[in-house]
């Protein structure tokens, strides 16, 4: 087929559950491509000589290659190609912001001057991962020669899982230390079932276990074992403990009963399955009649949509800036609106009001307008004087971000950190100030995305492998760029 | 999985469990707690560690059955296992030689108090302890506390054992008799800690309390355990569980403990009916 013909093919929509039906269940909202749909979508890729999409991917997936294999109907080949660079495609296909990465720079979208018309790379990625999972056993790569080197990974989230997968393939002995009773980090406690089914995350963890990765659960490094001991007992350590310290607004009444951090609300709902309380879960979560979520990111959308599924009559998003300034993905905002989430734009809570027993009853909101651009370049919200008004509510979820989890930095002072608590690393290797210790993901970035954490993990794993094999540390950066140049 | 090595009933609805948990025992210090999950659908509950045996790799928890999870745990026998014990968590008690330490334990709160009293005595402090309970059958760890104290006073609300009255009466009596205390450590029901703190503040005795609010992860991630201390929000799981009792907002803390009262009742009733067991039966014969 000629490029010109390919460019004329319409994008293939992914079927979705009806909004009215899906707010009453926890099943995934988009139901995925069929093989026919995937092959039709794959035909839209024009196989660029210089694939901008691959350059736009934080883990550098060979996107044209896997799409070609889909077009040819070789789904197994496509998944094999994918797993050369990305071990967790079922997850990335669902939660990556493709519209800001591969699909933003896709030539097809550019030629039509609309990134929304780019090849649906994320949906194709999801399709091949789901196809493999649904069609019998996942293939295992051949077992590598053991190197005899031991690696400890602190935190079983997206960054840690990526490092584990990469290093086990090089023959190192890998142990993941996870504080929760399940691995996956934000993938299991944060992102809701209707966006990322937990069974999929579990399958990916099972896959790593089959490759030989050992998982130690309920293991809080810094408490269960001092970080220092882990460093002494291993040849290398990766710290990927994430941004697990919720920010609150610091307004009056924030400790009233009914006020949650997004982390707590989502952890109760997702990891602890509060939606099945009391029949199949012992963890309760306040249902609420009117639930207000404060914030404009993906996490806020997840909270507001979860509240509807928990049975809230009204679910409101309160955001102090304008809608176009919301950091959430457009798709998430769209889904939330479809489901009936009310958007309160340019409003900010100033006070929470409770009854004499301490239960949240009302929120005082202040209206805002856009003023001059601030340091982030966005027009900053300015309060409109005397515009306060009261709204009756019974649950509030604070989703205004997280800071790096302080547990490791606080108990292992040797690690150099920024003044906001992030671990300082060499950007291209993930090396910290302590020999043999690497870090990546949200503990370095602050609250970012799953794929950026995986990108960090990928990069750190490459550097760790070189360090483990060569013992080079002070010039690891140069050695690595030399090797990367040689490969090219 | 963590095997139950011992399960004994030491009072009405009060159970002592010794669990196999070598990773938790290894670095545990007095004052720390664990988060336990007893089944695949279970909730995560924080429980203070009463004792450890590092050689055996075991920890001892003393747990009062008050809801569905603790009642379900009480049905388990030695040899059974539970899936998750996470810890040790929280900051350890700061144990140092300061002179005369007053340890005040109320009901089940004596369990976490014991390792602290023992630690305080081991480093050379004079330890005076007051144990309070509603009645004699609810008094626990009396012998252990006696061995960790230079002097021990017993009080019960109903006068069935020791002095009739509250622990605050006993504190006042000791001070009136001329005893001087450099530090007080109070562990027990929030209402008891609140009144002990009101008194010791008046008496000018610095007082440590151990808080046990609702938690999920125990690593500072969820913020469910937030308490107001000296006007600032603290997370009991990582900043505590011990705080300067004179600065704790006990009324807020007690209110927050009731957040899921109705849910807890529903869950307990459902379990009791299905498994034909209920609270208020076990251990009454003592």
Interface pTM, i.e. ipTM: 0.94
Nearest to A322 by CA among A356, A361, A370: A370
Q: How confident is the model at residue B282 (pLDDT cuts 50, 70, 90)?
A: confident
Is the Cβ of B44 closer than 8 Å to some Cβ of chain A?
yes
B285, pLDDT greater than 60 = no
For residues A100 and A257, the model is more confident at: A257
Residue A198 Cα distances to A183, B1, B195, angstroms: 11, 22, 46
Q: Is residue A267 a contact partner of residue A417, using CB atoms and an 8 Å limit?
A: no
Q: Which of B23, B32, B68 sits opposite A219 (nearest CB)?
A: B23
Q: Is residue A441 a contact partner of residue A432, using CB atoms and an 8 Å limit?
A: no
DSSP A417: B
pTM score above 0.80: yes
Q: Is residue A385 a contact partner of residue A352, using CB atoms and an 8 Å limit?
A: no
Crossing angle (nearest 10°) for helices A63-71 and A75-83: 170
Distance between B169 CA and the closest CA of chain A, angstroms: 29
Q: Give chain B positions within 8 Å (CB) of A358.
A: 252, 255-256
Taking residues A49-64, report their average pLDDT.
Answer: 91
For residues B127 and B208, what is the distance between their CA atoms, to the nearest angstrom? 15
What are the phi and psi torsion angles at A379 (to 5°)?
Answer: -65, 130
Q: Give chain A positions within 8 Å (CB) of B40.
A: none
Say whether A440 sits in a helix, a strand or coil.
coil
Nearest to A263 by CA among B36, B257, B215: B215
User: pLDDT per residue over A399-440, tens digit each?
Assistant: 999 999 888 998 999 999 999 889 999 999 999 999 999 999
Q: Are strands B126-133 and B151-156 parallel, antiparallel or unpaired?
A: parallel
Q: How confident is the model at residue B281 (pLDDT cuts 50, 70, 90)?
A: confident
pLDDT at site B286 = 43
Please give the structure tokens belonging to residue A230.
């882990």
DSSP A300: H
Decide if A224 and B83 are in contact by the 8 Å CB cutoff. no
B99, pLDDT greater than 90 = yes
How much of chain B is helix, strand and coil, in % rounded to 5? 30, 30, 35
User: pLDDT per residue over A68-99, tens digit each?
Assistant: 999 999 999 999 999 888 888 998 888 888 88
For residues B278 and A104, the model is more confident at: A104
For the ranges A195-199, A293-297, A352-356, the lowest mean pLDDT is seen at A195-199
For residues A406 and A421, what is the distance between their CA atoms, to the nearest angstrom? 7
Q: Which domains does chain B have, with CATH numbers?
A: 2-89 (2.40.30.10), 100-257 (3.40.50.80)
A13, pLDDT greater than 90 = yes
Decide if A223 and B226 are in contact by the 8 Å CB cutoff. no
Residue B223 Cα distances to A260, B151, B234, angstroms: 8, 39, 9
Best interface-test mutation with B: which of A154, A178, A180, A222 has the largest number of B CBs within 10 A? A180
Q: Is residue A429 a contact partner of residue A470, using CB atoms and an 8 Å limit?
A: no
User: pLDDT per residue over A249-263, tens digit each?
Assistant: 999 999 999 999 999
A482, pLDDT greater than 90 = no
pLDDT at site B20 = 97
Taking residues B10-37, report their average pLDDT.
Answer: 95
DSSP B84: E
Q: How confident is the model at residue A265 (pLDDT cuts 50, 70, 90)?
A: very high
Q: Which domains does chain A have, with CATH numbers?
A: 3-134 (1.10.1060.10), 150-244+403-487 (3.50.50.60), 250-399 (3.50.50.60)
Nearest to A118 by CA among A56, A60, A59: A56
pLDDT at site A376 = 80
B228, pLDDT greater than 50 = yes
Say whether A183 sits in a helix, a strand or coil.
coil
Taking residues A163-169, report their average pLDDT.
Answer: 93
Distance between A372 CA and the closest CA of chain B, angstroms: 33
| A-chain residue closest to B42, CA distance | A282
User: pLDDT per residue over A224-249, tens digit each?
Assistant: 999 999 999 999 999 999 998 999 99
Decide if A246 and B23 are in contact by the 8 Å CB cutoff. no
DSSP B32: -
Distance between A375 CA and the closest CA of chain B, angstroms: 29
A289, pLDDT greater than 90 = yes
pLDDT at site B284 = 67
Q: Which of B223, B260, B267 sits opposite A264 (nearest CB)?
A: B223
Decide if A280 and B252 are in contact by the 8 Å CB cutoff. no
Is the Cβ of B88 closer than 8 Å to some Cβ of chain A?
yes
């Amino acid at each position: 087929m000629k490029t010109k013909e390919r460019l004329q093919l319409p994008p293939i929509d992914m079927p979705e559950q009806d909004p009215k039906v899906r707010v009453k269940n926890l099943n995934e909202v988009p139901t995925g491509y069929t093989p026919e749909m995937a092959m039709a979508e794959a035909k839209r890729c024009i196989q660029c000589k210089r694939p901008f999409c691959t350059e736009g991917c934080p883990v550098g997936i060979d996107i044209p290659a896997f799409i070609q294999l889909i077009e040819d109907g070789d789904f197994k080949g496509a998944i094999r190609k994918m797993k050369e660079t990305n071990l967790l495609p079922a997850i990335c296909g669902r939660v990556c912001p493709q519209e800001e990465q591969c699909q933003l720079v896709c030539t097809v979208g550019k030629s039509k001057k609309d990134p929304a018309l780019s090849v649906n790379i994320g949906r194709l990625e999801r399709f091949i991962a789901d196809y493999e999972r649904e069609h019998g056993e996942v293939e295992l790569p051949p077992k590598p020669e053991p190197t005899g080197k031991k690696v400890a990974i602190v935190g079983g989230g997206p960054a840690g899982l990526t490092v584990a997968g990469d290093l086990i393939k090089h023959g190192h002995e890998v142990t993941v230390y996870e504080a929760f009773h399940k691995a996956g980090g934000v993938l299991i406690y944060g992102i809701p079932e209707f966006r990322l089914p937990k069974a999929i995350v579990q399958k990916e963890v099972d896959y790593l276990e089959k490759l030989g990765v050992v998982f130690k659960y309920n293991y809080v490094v810094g408490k269960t074992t001092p970080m220092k001991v882990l460093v002494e007992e291993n040849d290398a350590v990766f710290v990927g403990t994430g941004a697990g310290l919720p920010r609150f607004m610091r307004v009056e009444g924030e400790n009233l009963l009914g006020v949650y951090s997004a982390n707590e609300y989502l952890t109760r709902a997702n990891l602890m399955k509060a939606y099945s309380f009391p029949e199949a879960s012992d963890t309760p979560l306040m249902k609420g009649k009117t639930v207000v979520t404060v914030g404009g990111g993906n996490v806020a959308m997840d909270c507001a949509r979860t509240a509807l599924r928990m049975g809230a009559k009204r679910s409101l998003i309160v955001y102090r800036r304008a809608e176009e300034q919301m950091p959430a993905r457009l798709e998430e905002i769209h889904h939330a609106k479809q489901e009936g989430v009310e958007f309160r734009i340019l409003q900010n809570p100033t006070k929470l009001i409770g009854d004499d027993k301490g239960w949240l009853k009302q929120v005082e909101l202040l209206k805002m307008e856009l003023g001059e651009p601030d340091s982030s370049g966005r027009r900053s919200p300015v309060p409109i004087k005397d515009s306060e008004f009261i709204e009756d509510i019974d649950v509030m979820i604070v989703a205004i971000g997280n800071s790096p989890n302080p547990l490791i930095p606080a108990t292992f002072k040797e690690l150099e950190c920024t003044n906001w608590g992030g671990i300082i690393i060499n950007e291209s290797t993930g090396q910290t100030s302590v020999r043999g210790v690497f870090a990546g993901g949200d503990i370095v970035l602050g609250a970012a995305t799953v794929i950026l954490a995986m990108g960090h993990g990928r990069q750190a794993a490459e550097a760790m492998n070189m360090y483990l094999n060569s013992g080079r540390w002070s010039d690891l950066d140069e050695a690595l760029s030399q090797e990367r140049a040689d490969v090219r | 999985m963590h095997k139950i090595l011992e399960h004994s009933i030491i009072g009405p609805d009060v159970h002592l469990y010794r669990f196999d948990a070598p990773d938790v025992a290894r670095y545990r210090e007095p004052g720390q707690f664990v988060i336990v999950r007893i089944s695949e659908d279970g909730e995560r509950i924080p429980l203070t560690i009463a004792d450890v045996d590092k050689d055996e790799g075991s920890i001892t928890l003393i747990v009062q059955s008050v809801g569905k999870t603790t009642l379900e745990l009480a049905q388990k026998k030695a040899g059974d296992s539970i899936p998750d014990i996470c810890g040790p968590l929280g900051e350890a008690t700061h144990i140092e030689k300061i002179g005369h330490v007053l340890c005040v334990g109320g009901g089940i709160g004596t369990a976490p108090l014991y390792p602290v009293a023992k630690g305080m005595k081991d480093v050379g402090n004079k330890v005076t302890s007051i144990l309070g309970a509603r009645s004699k059958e609810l008094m626990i760890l009396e012998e252990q506390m006696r061995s960790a104290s230079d002097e021990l006073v017993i009080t019960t609300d109903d006068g069935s054992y020791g002095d009739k009255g509250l622990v605050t009466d006993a504190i006042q009596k000791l001070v009136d008799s001329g005893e001087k205390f450099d530090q007080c450590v109070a562990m027990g029901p929030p209402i008891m800690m609140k009144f002990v703190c009101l008194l010791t503040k008046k008496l000018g005795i610095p007082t440590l309390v151990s808080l046990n609010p609702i938690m999920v992860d125990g690593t500072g991630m969820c913020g469910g355990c937030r308490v107001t201390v000296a006007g600032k929000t603290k997370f009991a799981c990582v900043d505590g569980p011990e705080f300067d009792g004179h600065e704790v907002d006990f009324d807020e803390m007690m209110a927050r403990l009731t957040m899921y009262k109705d849910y807890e009742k529903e869950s307990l009733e459902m379990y009791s009916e299905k498994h034909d067991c209920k609270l208020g039966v076990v251990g009454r014969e003592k």
